[in-house]
Amino acid sequence: MTHTIDTLLDSAILKLSQVAESLQLKPRFESEILLSFVLQVSRVYLHTHNKQNVNLTQTEHFLALVDERTKGKPIEYITQSASFYEHTFYVNDSVLIPRPESEILIQKASEIITRHNIESIAEVGIGSGILSITLSLLHPQCRFFATDISQKALEVTQKNIHSLAPDSNITLKHCSLLPSSWQDIELIISNPPYICDDYPISQPLTYEPNIALFGGKDGLDILKALIVEAKNRKAFLLCEIGYDQKNALTHFLEQHNAKAIHFYKDLSGLDRGFWCRF
């Protein structure tokens, strides 16, 4: 049986509507995203060619992707792309899906870089590369050093550097925290794993890499290690945090003689990150 763009979209919208509330998705929008991906056309094309027939192979591919979405698989992993700071990044299930909240970290980092004439920035846990790559495009005069404990994540970063910032000065290394051979780091940034190990995460998060989500019994293991790292290097530190970690981190920062401690909130009014200097 031959399907048109219209009939395929109607079928997908019906399927996705049945799980829309539990998965917090938008059936029409996501159906169009998935069909655009399969046909390699724009969403506008779907509306202007709505009576066009779709071949059997494309139809089966599309319906299979819709089934994956109904089971909770994030659409970014299905299409292997995610938007961040006006750029489209390649992503897969080896890296976290970029969040809008991380755009606030970009803004804070840019302010620190400009105000203090920062030239060398290190990122711990680079993942898909959204932070370092975006900052390298905003501040091409800076040198960037980045690590990740996952070799697969670094491969994703490499793809994004090649496609989005081939002229950037970004050095990558497979390790945790920062190697001692990297000297003169002035600013450390990170969106580290900060969820408590026993915290019951929502279904979509189960598709994302655990190593990038969970940060120990209280979620603070990596954050505390980053504070010590920044102290030893006498560097600025800028990190994302969990909404309920401000008090514990304030105490730990004060214990380690951090200066100019500033916490910031996300668009929902929740504590989302901090920066300080040593």
Residue-wise pLDDT tens digits, 162-171: 999 999 999 9
Greatest mean pLDDT range, 139-143, 195-199, 204-208: 139-143
- Residue 174 is predicted with a pLDDT of 97
Domain span holding position 116: 94-277
Q: What is the mean pLDDT of residues 106-112?
A: 98
Asked if the model's pLDDT at residue 204 lies above 90, the reply is no
User: How far apart, in whole angstroms, are the C-alpha atoms of residue 158 and residue 167?
Assistant: 12
The answer as to whether 170 is a domain residue is: yes
In a domain, 61, yes or no: yes
Q: Return the percentage of the chain with pLDDT > 90, whole number.
A: 90
Provide the pLDDT confidence category of residue 199 given band limits of 50, 70 and 90. Answer: confident
Residue 115 sits in a domain whose CATH number is 3.40.50.150
Per-residue pLDDT at 7 exceeds 90 = yes
Are 115 and 217 within one domain? yes
Indicate the SS3 state at residue 255: helix
Both structure tokens of 226: 């980053």
Using pLDDT thresholds of 50, 70 and 90, give the confidence band for residue 133.
very high
CATH number at residue 27: 1.10.8
Domain count, the chain: 2
Asked if pLDDT for residue 266 goes beyond 80, the answer is yes
Average pLDDT on 261-277 reads 96
Q: For the whole prediction, is pTM greater than 0.85?
A: yes
Q: Is 78 part of any domain? A: no
Q: What is the pLDDT of residue 2?
A: 79
255 pLDDT above the threshold of 80: yes
Model confidence at 134: pLDDT above 90: yes
pLDDT band for position 205 (50/70/90)?
Answer: confident
- Asked if the model's pLDDT at residue 257 lies above 90, the reply is yes
For the chain, where are the alpha helices, taking DSSP H only?
A: 5-17, 20-23, 27-39, 43-48, 56-70, 75-79, 102-115, 130-138, 151-164, 221-233, 246-255
Pure H helices in 165-260: 221-233, 246-255
Which tops the pLDDT comparison, 205 or 154? 154
Q: Which of 13, 40, 72 is the last residue of a domain?
A: 72
User: In this model, does residue 157 exceed pLDDT 90?
Assistant: yes
- Asked whether residue 146 falls in the same domain as residue 67, the answer is no
Give the pLDDT of residue 202: 82
Instruction: Render pLDDT for 24-43 as a digit per residue (tens, 0 to 9).
Output: 889 999 999 999 999 999 99
Residue bearing tokens 């763009």: 5
Domain contains 89:
no
Per-residue pLDDT at 39: 97
Query: What distance in Å separates the CA atoms of residue 188 and residue 190, rounded to the nearest whole number?
Result: 7
Quote the DSSP letter at residue 214. B
Looking at the predicted structure, is the pLDDT value of residue 1 above 80?
Answer: no
Residues 98 and 179 both lie in one domain: yes
| pLDDT of amino acid 23 | 84
For residue 200, the model assigns a pLDDT of: 84
The pLDDT value recorded for residue 201 is 83
Residues 51 and 98 in one domain: no
**Residue 141 and residue 260 share a domain:** yes
Average pLDDT along the chain: 95
Tens of pLDDT, residue by residue over 53-80, are: 999 999 999 999 999 999 999 999 999 9
Residue 117 falls inside a structural domain: yes
